[in-house]
């Protein structure tokens, strides 16, 4: 499963959890239980609950799941704030199993804090070799127009042309970063207001694609514009993804503590 598909699964499972589906439905087979552990590990990771996510990700990583191996490497690196031997081990396993995202992280080790600390763990390949492998693999999909592969080419080369191609092909993460780039002054806009319109467009598309960060930034635009019906919709959707700020605000607003966006009072759901 690609990282993009894993994130899409994250959205789906988060919505399921928010609707209180019975645990018996998930415990019917060992495979369904393993998948639940994996998705809940990704949810916890994206909620920045790193310590809670690691044990769940470890279980599936040891079983050979590529997405979990990558996320476990990410969790371990972020917990320690630099590339540790254990983080590199899991990145390496994910990369050797075909994860291009993991190859890219290994290729960026020269920019990691461990380099400044002079304690980067030895790697089976150099950073340049990992990036070269990542580029070769990503180009196979990019040449066929695969949206995620197009985005990966951007991550490898930092050429915004790849990012725009990926975003135009419907890849939510690329759409989010297009919005960020436009907001920061990238790109050329002739007409007054066209830059802001482009930011709004990309954030909406990324939100529709399930990107929680995009949802939160799109919510700011909607709130400033006074579009409260849309605010209520997107805040609820963002909360269902497990995004911490969205969950906190949604709970507060439906409890009227305070009532800022016009939700009906629901103390049970709010607390």
Alpha-carbon span 37 to 60, nearest angstrom: 8
> Does residue 23 surpass a pLDDT of 70?
no
pLDDT of residue 210: 95
> Does residue 27 surpass a pLDDT of 90?
no
Alpha-carbon span 262 to 265, nearest angstrom: 9
Q: Tell me how far apart the terminal alpha carbons of the chain are, to the nearest angstrom.
A: 35
Read off the pLDDT of each residue in 70-83 and give the average, rounded to a whole number: 95
Read off the pLDDT of each residue in 159-168 and give the average, rounded to a whole number: 98
Peptide bond just before 128 cis, omega within 30 deg: no
Query: What band does 13 get if pLDDT is binned at 50, 70 and 90?
Result: very low
Q: Give the side-chain half-sphere CA count within 13 A for 152.
A: 29
Query: What band does 4 get if pLDDT is binned at 50, 70 and 90?
Result: very low
pLDDT of residue 149: 98
Per residue in 184-198, pLDDT tens? Answer: 999 999 898 999 999
Residues 229-256 as b/e (b if ≥16 CB within 10 A, e otherwise) read ebbbebbebbbbbbbeebbebbebbbbe
Supply the pTM of this predicted model: 0.80
| Mean pLDDT, all residues of the chain | 87
């Amino acid at each position: 499963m690609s990282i993009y598909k894993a994130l899409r699964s994250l959205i789906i499972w988060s919505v399921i959890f928010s609707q209180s589906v019975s645990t018996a439905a998930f415990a019917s087979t060992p495979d369904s239980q393993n998948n639940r552990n994996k998705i809940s590990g990704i949810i916890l990771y994206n909620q920045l609950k790193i310590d809670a996510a690691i044990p769940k990700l470890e279980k599936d990583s040891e079983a050979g799941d590529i997405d979990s191996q990558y996320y476990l490497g990410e969790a371990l690196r972020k917990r320690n704030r630099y590339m540790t031997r254990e983080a590199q081990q899991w990145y390496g396993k994910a990369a050797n199993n075909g994860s291009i995202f993991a190859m890219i992280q290994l290729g960026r080790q020269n920019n990691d804090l461990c380099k400044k600390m002079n304690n980067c763990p030895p790697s089976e390949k150099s950073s340049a070799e990992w990036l070269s492998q990542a580029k070769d693999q990503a180009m196979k999909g990019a040449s066929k127009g695969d949206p995620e592969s197009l985005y990966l080419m951007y991550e490898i080369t930092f050429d915004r042309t790849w990012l725009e191609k990926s975003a135009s092909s419907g890849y939510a993460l690329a759409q989010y970063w297009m919005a960020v780039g436009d907001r920061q002054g990238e790109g050329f806009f002739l007409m007054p207001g066209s830059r802001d319109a482009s930011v709004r467009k990309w954030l909406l598309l990324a939100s529709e694609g399930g990107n929680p960060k995009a949802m939160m930034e799109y919510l700011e635009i909607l709130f400033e514009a006074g579009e409260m019906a849309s605010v209520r919709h997107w805040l609820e959707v963002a909360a269902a993804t497990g995004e911490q700020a969205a969950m906190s605000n949604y709970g507060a607003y439906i409890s009227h503590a305070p009532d800022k966006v016009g939700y009906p009072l629901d103390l049970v759901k709010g607390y």
